[in-house]
A and B are shown apart, each in its own frame.
Chain A
């Protein structure tokens, strides 16, 4: 499986600011995704990061709030914009690479918004 590095691992941010989370993979992957896991909840897909084009967002998530970049097949960023305490969650990137559709997760970014 691919080695996925996610930065930062955690951060504490002030209301109204933005945070950019990076996801770096050690090999080219076909698919990259961003998930959110709110406290005590399961994972919810935010969007599919598309290489060289705009991300595909799931219902309830919009580009203005969660802009995503994917400049190449090994790297993606998720920005959480204009943060509020409700954005306090764990944000995870995942990848699908090689054959099949097995999805692997990065270690996650634990975000707290004050």
Chain B
């Protein structure tokens, strides 16, 4: 049974601060890792994806991957109230199942004005 663990939160940060979201996964064969943002009542929206160890930056978002530790994180710099949402970590499957995403339960982020 593949497992994806995230702190459920809520994680509360002030506007302008850095929000740090963490995720660990059990499938050592996972090669692709995705972060989705889900606003209440809406469908998941892709924020970032990362395949290689290290950091990947896109605007205010940075994804960090450490396959040896089976750990992936998402940093949100200069957090805005509009970033308030649930963030879902989703590693892809291993081998030929890389398209099969296993979702964590998500971390609820609240950015306070």
Interface positions of B (Cβ within 8 A of A): 32, 34, 36, 42-46, 49, 88, 90, 92, 98-106
In the complex, the answer to whether B99 meets A103 with C-beta atoms within 8 Å is yes
Shortest CB-to-CB span from A7 to chain B, Å, is 14
In the complex, the answer to whether A42 meets B43 with C-beta atoms within 8 Å is no
9 tightest A-B contacts by CB?
A42-B103, A105-B43, A43-B103, A42-B105, A108-B43, A105-B44, A107-B43, A31-B99, A42-B106
Interface centre among A31, A45, A107 (most CB of B within 10 A): A45
Nearest A residue to B89 via CB reads A42
Given contacts A42-B106, A48-B100, contact A103 B43 (CB under 8 A): no
How many residues from A make CB contacts under 8 Å with B?
Answer: 19
In the complex, the answer to whether A101 meets B103 with C-beta atoms within 8 Å is no
The verdict on A92 contacting chain B, using a C-beta distance below 8 Å, is yes
| Chain A residues, Cβ within 8 Å of B46 | 102-104
Shortest CB-to-CB span from B31 to chain A, Å, is 9
The verdict on A41 contacting chain B, using a C-beta distance below 8 Å, is yes
Given contacts A103-B34, A105-B44, contact A42 B88 (CB under 8 A): yes
The verdict on A113 contacting chain B, using a C-beta distance below 8 Å, is no
